[in-house]
């Protein structure tokens, strides 16, 4: 099987975000970055499918030059080669723009299966996978908890609300968005890190990046405290508290 895994570089969860001067994105200069966690599970699932069925795993990523950090990490974990669509504009582009440039970079590769994480830890739009499927003209399924390929047919288990699951049979090629926790992640070994230095990273020009959404203002929420004293008799105070919880806080009905 020829499998593509889309990965994204996001801000580290341990880093306290600092907004840039324009107030439209974070300051990249002093930020720490890591691989998007749902994408790490997609990568692991791709590697397991390769181990069962043979073929190759190609990681695809869109973003600035710094994205090479997570690409090398994916190669060290076992991916065979990589495609990097490089552009500074893609750092904060919306899901539609990212999906479009990834689809363009994948043209001619004829992937049997494309995996993405369910959503990103930064914007959390959960749109890249489904829009990418539309751009590639192939079927897709989301929130995947299990993947099997039997006799050329893709069988997947989807997570629904309320503890329910849906089992779907699909033709190949297809796009799947992988849920976190589908498997146990592996980490790069020293041998894998050394081997990654020799693996191919094909760089692709992004061309015009056309985002349909634009971040107008970004800010860090401020912590505030507000205390109100409710007077009167115990019965009056209780009635007033219930009134405020219902009408102002919307905590009760």
Which tens digit of pLDDT belongs to each residue from 96-117? 999 999 999 998 899 999 999 9
pLDDT of residue 118: 94
Contacts with 23 (C-beta within 8 Å, 6 or more apart), sequence order: 217, 218, 219
Residue 104 φ/ψ, nearest 5 degrees: -65, -40
Contact at 8 Å (CB) between 52 and 9?
Answer: no
Residues 129 and 247 in one domain: no
Greater pLDDT, 204 or 218: 204
Structure tokens belonging to residue 241: 């508290």
Residue 211 lies in a domain: no
Residues 182 and 230 in one domain: no
* Three-class secondary structure of residue 113 per DSSP: strand
Domain that residue 48 falls in: 2-205
Residues 248 and 145 in one domain: no
Residue 29 has pLDDT above 90, yes or no: no
Dist CA 122 CA 115 (whole Å): 19
Mean pLDDT computed over 153-174: 94
Residue 34 has pLDDT above 80, yes or no: yes
Contacts with 42 (C-beta within 8 Å, 6 or more apart), sequence order: 5, 6, 7, 115, 116, 117, 176, 177, 178
How far CA 151 is from CA of 111, 154, 167, 171, 240, in Å, comes to 17, 8, 17, 10, 67
Contact at 8 Å (CB) between 106 and 83?
Answer: yes
pLDDT of residue 249: 79
- pLDDT digits 0-9 by tens, 215-240: 888 877 788 887 888 889 999 999 99
Dist CA 133 CA 113 (whole Å): 10
Mean pLDDT computed over 73-94: 92
pLDDT confidence band for 25 (50 / 70 / 90): confident
Residues 249 and 187 in one domain: no
Contact at 8 Å (CB) between 125 and 92?
Answer: no
Residue 212 has pLDDT above 90, yes or no: no
Contact at 8 Å (CB) between 248 and 226?
Answer: no
Residue 217 lies in a domain: no
Contacts with 234 (C-beta within 8 Å, 6 or more apart), sequence order: none
Provide the mean pLDDT of the chain: 91
Least confident segment among 43-52, 137-146, 235-244: 235-244
The angle, 0 to 180 degrees and rounded to 10, between the axes of the packed helices 68-77 and 37-53 is 30
pLDDT of residue 166: 95
Residue 253 has pLDDT above 80, yes or no: no
Dist CA 85 CA 68 (whole Å): 10
Contact at 8 Å (CB) between 190 and 196?
Answer: no
How far CA 165 is from CA of 34, 49, 64, 130, 158, in Å, comes to 31, 21, 38, 19, 5
Residues 158 and 233 in one domain: no
Structural domains counted in the chain? 2
Residue 101 lies in a domain: yes
- pTM of the complete model: 0.83
Residue 66 has pLDDT above 80, yes or no: yes
Residues 128 and 233 in one domain: no
Dist CA 105 CA 87 (whole Å): 13
Residue 28 has pLDDT above 80, yes or no: no
Residues 48 and 162 in one domain: yes
Residues 158 and 242 in one domain: no
């Amino acid at each position: 099987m020829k499998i593509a895994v889309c990965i994204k570089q996001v801000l580290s969860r341990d880093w306290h975000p600092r907004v840039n001067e324009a107030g439209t994105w974070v300051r990249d200069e002093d930020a720490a970055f890591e691989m998007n966690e749902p994408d790490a599970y997609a990568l692991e699932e791709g590697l397991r499918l390769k181990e069962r069925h043979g073929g190759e795993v190609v990681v695809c990523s869109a973003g600035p030059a710094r994205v090479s950090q997570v690409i090398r990490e994916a190669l060290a974990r076992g991916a065979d080669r990589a495609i990097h669509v490089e552009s500074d504009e893609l750092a904060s582009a919306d899901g539609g723009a990212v999906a479009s440039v990834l689809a363009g970079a994948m043209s001619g590769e004829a992937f049997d299966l494309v995996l993405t994480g369910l959503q990103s830890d930064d914007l959390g739009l959960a749109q890249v996978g489904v829009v990418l499927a539309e751009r590639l003209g192939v079927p897709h399924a989301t929130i995947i908890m299990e993947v099997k390929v039997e006799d050329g047919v893709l069988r997947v288990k989807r997570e629904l609300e309320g503890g329910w699951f849906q089992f779907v049979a699909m033709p190949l090629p297809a796009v799947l968005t992988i849920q976190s926790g589908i498997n146990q992640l592996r980490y790069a070994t020293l041998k894998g890190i050394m081997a990654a230095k020799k693996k191919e990273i094909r760089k692709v020009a992004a061309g015009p990046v056309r985002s349909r959404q634009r971040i107008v203002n970004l800010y860090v929420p401020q912590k505030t405290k507000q205390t109100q004293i409710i007077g009167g008799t115990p019965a009056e105070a209780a009635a007033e508290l219930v009134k405020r919880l219902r009408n102002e806080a919307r905590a009760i009905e």
